[in-house]
Structure 1
């Protein structure tokens, strides 16, 4: 089911904040930008995903900075992706003409030109004539750093202490205080170009003529189409699956092979609430699940790159939170200090705005299962694991055998203290079981008696203490009767038969308590306090897990209806944030890798069930 295009008024009575869902994403495999349906770039961190922003109006309409580019007359807008690419088009419909802005970042090789980090905005008039206005208003270092602006040999240069940007344009640009502005009119068939480059060192300002912009547009189209053509998916929901794959690719950091959980920071899980986090890092869990989804589609190079990221950047350690951190910087760094940006008001007043992430040192045992499962699939569908990787994996599994029954924070990163979560024990079982599969298939050395004993002990513990006779369901943690959507992974991970009576009873209980018209809450904070105030929306990855669990249980008609309903909650270009609010709005960081990888998995399994 294709998402409906966005069609909304432009400029007149425009709100201070566009809804999160009213954006598309562009990127160059190093960083990305959000472009609103009004033609404004209101999130952009030059150079790399986790760099300080220069456009962050989505977090503060007054102090965040933006790059506005729109028709200078009342107009309606429609936004869509150029087919099978990550080039975004925002079209303006006015009384006297139709124009469009084509936004993209050229994908370049590892040469010095990659350091330019060019963002191109091509403006075309396709019918009649249309006036346009542009305002380029960078606010460096999340709006904390001052900058100067000056005209220099046909360029407009914005300089701050830590970063300089050069704007080149085929139309006249004038400075206006700290900003730059341009007004121009295009007749049918005419075009204009704006290019914003990071400069400094060996990268000097460079013009971007119309012909060069057109050549870069064509080259970028070829890159994305060549990449998506490798997909093996031929099922019923090809358009949505391929959009999700293209989105996951946008979230990869090419220099290291890292995959970020989302390209944004501090977009709220509840408008006006405090559940605002920075997701521009590599979560071992999220990245491992991404590898699973991309491998299913046939993209083995991304899996190879992520394994290389692990081997080159992630070093095992000793300590109470285990040999692995739950997340790392995109360059492998381990320190991600969390801080609040009190000068920013937050999206729709949702404070505090946070960068960095204090959850980095939490113990989350489930990451070992996600990682080993992805390595098992890589070994099976990609390349056989190297001997040094196997030695490292064995060390991780040995540690899991010793520590699987520790209380931890688990998959949802609660801040209410460690508990013995069923999901964490389940994924420890997965870590050991998948390692045993690799060892048996490849004939690799392993302490099989020890691993087998630990695996079976975990299984019996979950079946005995994770089952609530009172609820007739598997529950969130030992000694409680609280439901949690993370248990949907039990049949998906092949821990329990999807038609086991205990599982079917659990599925019914989840449907009654946590499911709302196909949308699934991860848990109820009122009965399972997580250390934070406020409520949250339904968790979209759980909604797709629910679809997959239904299809595996043989409830194929229910699964298809739930899946089709979930597709209607995508935004106009097929993107999902982390959560969906009570009135259908997208909430949380956007777009969210977790959601898109779960969509791919659900589509695959539902296609298989439907035959």
Structure 2
């Protein structure tokens, strides 16, 4: 069982996949050609699951850093006999945009050719960084690096962003809540778009919202529940399986490939998508007709299904309940749709949306508040804390 902490890993990316590298030069996680492909190296999840290592044969003092303005990792080993500097990268070719790197059958390369690819990769990341360095404010260096990380977690062919580049890392050591997060969650949209905007990643912001609007549009039109998550290529079926030959990080089984939460009804996603649209509109410009139709349909669905039970953001794998957070996010969806009505061409729907929004507001205050606990409940049926931070209790929230 590995004693290595997760925080020891550094990430490499070519904006199609990612690798995780330990502080002593071992690639313990690599999926190719996509983030969600099967792992080539998986020692992250099992000591016997393979790795690729370059390090001195003798003890060494180790330091590492990312080469300035890049995601090229420089690890320095200092030994009694000398110093070794190791450069790790998922490489790009000269003139290539970040995200166009993978070749399925790469040729054998000379040391000179490898060095050239590393130089090209450094140049590619620095070129991208120069084009996304407009942020002015506190922690500028950290914000700029966070922008590179967000870019690194973006699947360049579609604009989708993974929630994580890994699967099956547990919520608690030895626990079973070990999910595959190599997909795009609708719930993350507003937070992701805000982060991209802060890091001045306008192209990535537009691409991500466009991806979401396209994959969601056909489902809303067809009538079933809006999925909570999608594959990075727009896939809908993310059926889960459990490879039995892997023990899991620190024996935290099961290891999962896929995520069966895609089947769940989670009504909060309607509010999340409309909140993302409300937040993004001023940055990405007018919505096209398909997106306008989608957002009107999402608001109508939130209004129609607001009284139905679901699994909510906790993704409980049990019976559906009336989760307070889901009702709250239906309120958010209608509140944002009302604000967006002029640009959606939906002025005729504002009166009905306002009426339903106010009904949800009243229901949360009467059925979702526990006076004895002095807190909102997790569900309308049970008493557990739930917070408000999206304006439900503001003076204007009653319409």
The two structures have a TM-score, normalised by structure 2, of 0.91
Between the aligned partners of 1:388 and 1:240, the Cα distance in structure 2 is: 37
Query: Would you say 1:346 and 2:248 are equivalent positions?
Result: yes
Between the aligned partners of 1:112 and 1:377, the Cα distance in structure 2 is: 28
Between the aligned partners of 2:98 and 2:67, the Cα distance in structure 1 is: 25
Query: Would you say 1:218 and 2:203 are equivalent positions?
Result: no
**Change in 2 beyond 3 A, CA 1:314/1:258:** same
SS of aligned partner of 2:235: coil
Q: Which residue of 1 aligns with 2:163?
A: 261
Q: Which residue of 1 aligns with 2:54?
A: 69
Query: What per-residue deviation string (whole Å, max 9, x for no partner) do you get for residues 202-238 of structure 1?
Result: x5445452551353243134234224413x2412x33
Alpha-carbon shift at residue 323 of structure 1 (Å): 3.5
Alpha-carbon shift at residue 451 of structure 1 (Å): 0.6
Q: Which residue of 2 aligns with 1:27?
A: 13
Q: Which residue of 2 aligns with 1:80?
A: 65
Q: How does 1:403-442 map to 2 (within 5 A)?
A: 403-440=305-342
Q: Which residue of 2 aligns with 1:303?
A: 205
Alpha-carbon shift at residue 313 of structure 1 (Å): 3.6
Query: Would you say 1:36 and 2:22 are equivalent positions?
Result: yes
Between the aligned partners of 2:187 and 2:241, the Cα distance in structure 1 is: 23
Query: Would you say 1:325 and 2:222 are equivalent positions?
Result: no
**Change in 2 beyond 3 A, CA 1:20/1:446:** farther
Q: Which residue of 2 aligns with 1:496?
A: 393
Q: Which residue of 1 aligns with 2:278?
A: 376
Alpha-carbon shift at residue 390 of structure 1 (Å): 0.7
Between the aligned partners of 2:15 and 2:116, the Cα distance in structure 1 is: 21
Query: Would you say 1:60 and 2:46 are equivalent positions?
Result: yes
Q: Which residue of 2 aligns with 1:234?
A: 137
Alpha-carbon shift at residue 54 of structure 1 (Å): 0.2
Alpha-carbon shift at residue 444 of structure 1 (Å): 4.7
Q: How does 1:109-120 map to 2 (within 5 A)?
A: 117=102
SS of aligned partner of 2:6: coil
Q: What number of residue pairs does the alignment pair up?
A: 395
Query: What per-residue deviation string (whole Å, max 9, x for no partner) do you get for residues 90-113 of structure 1?
Result: 221222323222212234699899
Alpha-carbon shift at residue 28 of structure 1 (Å): 0.8
Between the aligned partners of 1:238 and 1:216, the Cα distance in structure 2 is: 25
Q: Which residue of 2 aligns with 1:514?
A: none
Query: What per-residue deviation string (whole Å, max 9, x for no partner) do you get for residues 14-39 of structure 1?
Result: x8442111101110110111011111
Between the aligned partners of 1:258 and 1:349, the Cα distance in structure 2 is: 31
Question: Do the aligned partners of 1:316 and 1:324 also contact (CA within 8 Å) in 2?
Answer: no
Larger Rg: 1
Between the aligned partners of 2:364 and 2:341, the Cα distance in structure 1 is: 25
Between the aligned partners of 1:463 and 1:224, the Cα distance in structure 2 is: 48
Question: Do the aligned partners of 1:314 and 1:332 also contact (CA within 8 Å) in 2?
Answer: no
**Change in 2 beyond 3 A, CA 1:426/1:111:** same
SS of aligned partner of 1:345: coil
Q: How does 1:112-191 map to 2 (within 5 A)?
A: 117=102
SS of aligned partner of 1:90: strand
SS of aligned partner of 1:354: coil
SS of aligned partner of 1:384: coil
Question: Do the aligned partners of 1:59 and 1:344 also contact (CA within 8 Å) in 2?
Answer: yes
Which structure exhibits the higher relative contact order, with contacts defined as CA atoms closer than 8 Å and separated by 6 or more residues?
A: 1
SS of aligned partner of 2:61: strand
Give 4+ residue runs of structure 1 displaced > 6 Å after superposition: 109-115, 318-321
Task: Point out where structure 1 has 5 or more consecutive residues left out of the alignment.
Answer: 1-14, 118-196, 501-611
Between the aligned partners of 2:288 and 2:60, the Cα distance in structure 1 is: 58
Alpha-carbon shift at residue 453 of structure 1 (Å): 0.7
Q: Which residue of 2 aligns with 1:97?
A: 82
**Change in 2 beyond 3 A, CA 1:400/1:314:** closer
Q: Which residue of 1 aligns with 2:360?
A: 458
Which is richer in strand? 1
Question: Do the aligned partners of 2:45 and 2:247 also contact (CA within 8 Å) in 1?
Answer: yes
SS of aligned partner of 2:218: coil
Q: Which residue of 1 aligns with 2:36?
A: 50
For residue 261 of structure 2, the aligned residue among 347, 354, 359 is 359
Between the aligned partners of 1:65 and 1:429, the Cα distance in structure 2 is: 48
Query: Would you say 1:294 and 2:196 are equivalent positions?
Result: yes
Question: Do the aligned partners of 1:320 and 1:363 also contact (CA within 8 Å) in 2?
Answer: no
Between the aligned partners of 1:103 and 1:250, the Cα distance in structure 2 is: 15
The two structures have a TM-score, normalised by structure 1, of 0.60
Moved more, 281-290 or 452-461: 281-290
Query: What per-residue deviation string (whole Å, max 9, x for no partner) do you get for residues 461-486 of structure 1?
Result: 111211110011122111322124xx
Query: What per-residue deviation string (whole Å, max 9, x for no partner) do you get for residues 123-161 of structure 1?
Result: xxxxxxxxxxxxxxxxxxxxxxxxxxxxxxxxxxxxxxx
Aligned CA RMSD, in angstroms, stands at 2.7
Between the aligned partners of 2:278 and 2:100, the Cα distance in structure 1 is: 35
Query: What per-residue deviation string (whole Å, max 9, x for no partner) do you get for residues 164-209 of structure 1?
Result: xxxxxxxxxxxxxxxxxxxxxxxxxxxxxxxxx641xxx5445452
**Change in 2 beyond 3 A, CA 1:466/1:16:** closer
Q: Which residue of 2 aligns with 1:243?
A: 145
Alpha-carbon shift at residue 441 of structure 1 (Å): 6.0
Question: Do the aligned partners of 1:25 and 1:35 also contact (CA within 8 Å) in 2?
Answer: yes
Q: Which residue of 1 aligns with 2:290?
A: 388
Alpha-carbon shift at residue 245 of structure 1 (Å): 2.6
Between the aligned partners of 2:180 and 2:235, the Cα distance in structure 1 is: 15
